[in-house]
Chains A and B, each alone.
Chain A
Amino acid sequence: MKREKALIFEMTKPGRVAYSLPECDVPEIDVSSAIPSEYLRSEPAELPEVYEVDVIRHYTELSRRNFGVDNGFYPLGSCTMKYNPKINEDVARFPGFAKIHPYQPEESVQGALELLYTLQNDLAALTGMDRVSLQPAAGAHGEWTGLMMIRAYHESRGEKRTKVIVPDSSHGTNPASAAVAGFETVTIPSNAEGLVDPDALREAVGPDTAALMLTNPNTLGLFEKHILEIADIVHEAGGLLYYDGANSNAIMGIARPGDMGFDVVHLNLHKTMSTPHGGGGPGAGPVGVKEILAPFLPKPVVGRREDGTYYWDWDIPQSIGRVKAYCGNFGILVRAYAYIRSLGPEGLRRVSELAVLNANYVRSRLAPYFDVPYPGICKHQFVLSGKRLKAHGVRTLDVAKRLLDFGFHPPTIYFPLNVEECIMIEPTETESKETLDAFIEAMIQIVREAETDPELVTGAPHTTVVKRLDEATAARRPVLNCTCG
């Protein structure tokens, strides 16, 4: 791979073209006779003038610098970087899904509507909820949507509740979504087991509690075993329980948030349901609700008439309104639907069983080499602490950078915040034992290197195209645009 890479704008040479068009076989007109003058360019667009071969080589070279799940193991904790089955891509390209428009008459898109309706029901059944909206574009968007419904619920009952409680292990999007929804966040400390302490929760709830936001299993990969008691505490105080579905990969077909007492959930289809992610999306964060929140669902949802035809149901008078253009990220919903259909209920349960098995295998093999803040069986992910390596001047950041030299994407680092020098590993179910063993061997080797040759680790990465970036300067003095040529 070449080290230096010019921008395509820097490759421009006047007169070069990258396209070849056939002769025009329709009458040519002057564009100014067809388009009002105020919309016409006075200068040509500054598109780069390059040959076709150079365009192809440029973008092929850039694509080779990417690292995705199709390249290698990607154990980012809490992200569920599972393999994306290519059948999902085939299905998403069916003309009946790819070549339609959301504003077409309902009669002409019944297949698409049936897909959405069935997906709504499938996700409701999976999570133990009553009604689903597929509109939100991703996880945090789903969180915000759920919180806005909670707000509408309390307001409809004439109650002013301003606080949302989150555990200190929560994903940063939880308090952020709460803040954007107009709430104040209250953080409660996790106990020594890494779980929510019911007594601390009892202290924290009150008449101003709108909701508690939890993920289960939590970000540490541990199941909140007091969840039924937690649900009671919050409900008795008049608050609602929000389920962050980011860690659903651990429990499909085994446990359901609806049965745990949650009132509203979101799912991350780009995590649990294998839709592509890692490049910024698009994602999909459908929300499921119990009947008490159904009056506030975003509209429209897909409904089914008695005659078996499907339609856009706008009849939700207390709806919080639309949260996304059209019906959400339709192409993503199609891929998630294909995934669910491919696996079926038994297959989804197997996914979670294997995800938990793989995480426990990697954890037990790595445990002798790192500090394990929460020993014992984990769910689909687990955390290690790299703190013992500090004695050799090596930090978790260095371990992550050194993993790049072995061809692995690093795990999540420095999150959750309540574990020192944290490393959060989620292998997912779509990895062979050989892949897991290769990752384990690399991690063990890096620990050995930290002990015998720490500069090899602190100076990593050595083999990648870019080395360590100066993130501090990029944050302090960002360069947001540039001029070429």
Chain B
Amino acid sequence: MSEIKPELRYSEEHEWALPVNGRIVRVGITDFAQDQLGDIVFVELPEAGARVTAGESMGTIESVKTVSELYAPVTGTVVAVNEKLLDSPELVNQEPYGAGWLVEIEAEGDVEEALGRLLTADRYREMIGES
């Protein structure tokens, strides 16, 4: 059973989203995702200032066995990038909801509405078949 935090929102591509400050949303990948991917060796993130669109690719995450796309869960502008992942990509495996966060996005439009389009923790648990 993987860890699913009840206060977060989830995308179908196994990202989580957490509002941290006004319109700013912190994003990462779920515990289920990091377990499926295996040991992360490299993360390619967008630059601060880049505009991202909900559902579209914003970067890649690479493990020993595969390279996967990272999808933006909300539309907006990237305001912060987790620089620590450059030297320590293993943080994504160790603390996917904590120190392994990926980016912070300043959401465009209504934040509540944007997050409302994502899955709740229960729906995500259902989606990955762990209910």
Cβ-based interface call for A200 (8 A) = no
Q: Chain A's nearest CB lies how many Å from the CB of B97?
A: 21
Most buried by A among B63, B65, B90: B65
Inter-chain residue pair count (beta carbon < 8 A)? 20
Known: A414-B65, A472-B64, A476-B89. 16 other contacts (CB 8 A): A414-B66, A417-B66, A471-B39, A471-B64, A472-B38, A472-B39, A472-B41, A472-B63, A472-B90, A475-B41, A475-B42, A475-B62, A475-B64, A476-B41, A476-B42, A476-B90
Q: Chain A's nearest CB lies how many Å from the CB of B128?
A: 12
Closest 7 CB pairs of A and B: A472-B39, A475-B41, A471-B64, A476-B41, A414-B65, A472-B64, A472-B41
User: In the complex, what distance in Å separates the CA atom of A417 from the CA atom of B63?
Assistant: 14
Nearest-CB residue, chain A, relative to B93: A472
Q: Chain B's nearest CB lies how many Å from the CB of A168?
A: 13
User: In the complex, what distance in Å separates the CA atom of A108 from the CA atom of B90?
Assistant: 61
Contact bitstring A395-435, B, C-beta under 8 A = 1, else 0: 00000000000000000001001000000000000000000
Contacts of B41 in A (CB 8 A): 472, 475-476
Contacts of A475 in B (CB 8 A): 41-42, 62, 64
Q: Contact size class for A?
A: under 10
Interface of B is mostly: loop
Q: Chain B's nearest CB lies how many Å from the CB of A174?
A: 15
Chain A interface residues (CB < 8 Å from chain B):
414, 417, 471-472, 475-476
User: In the complex, what distance in Å separates the CA atom of A478 from the CA atom of B65?
Assistant: 16
Contacts of B64 in A (CB 8 A): 471-472, 475
User: B61-91: which have CB < 8 Å to A?
Assistant: 62-66, 89-90
Contacts of A476 in B (CB 8 A): 41-42, 89-90
User: In the complex, what distance in Å separates the CA atom of A471 from the CA atom of B62?
Assistant: 13
User: B35-73: which have CB < 8 Å to A?
Assistant: 38-42, 62-66
User: In the complex, what distance in Å separates the CA atom of A472 from the CA atom of B93?
Assistant: 12
User: In the complex, what distance in Å separates the CA atom of A471 from the CA atom of B42?
Assistant: 13
Q: Chain A's nearest CB lies how many Å from the CB of B39?
A: 3
User: In the complex, what distance in Å separates the CA atom of A343 from the CA atom of B63?
Assistant: 43
Q: Chain B's nearest CB lies how many Å from the CB of A480?
A: 15
User: In the complex, what distance in Å separates the CA atom of A471 from the CA atom of B89?
Assistant: 14
User: In the complex, what distance in Å separates the CA atom of A417 from the CA atom of B40?
Assistant: 17
Nearest-CB residue, chain B, relative to A470: B39
Nearest-CB residue, chain A, relative to B87: A476
Task: Write 20 A-B pairs (CB below 8 A) sorted by A numbering.
Answer: A414-B65, A414-B66, A417-B66, A471-B39, A471-B64, A472-B38, A472-B39, A472-B40, A472-B41, A472-B63, A472-B64, A472-B90, A475-B41, A475-B42, A475-B62, A475-B64, A476-B41, A476-B42, A476-B89, A476-B90
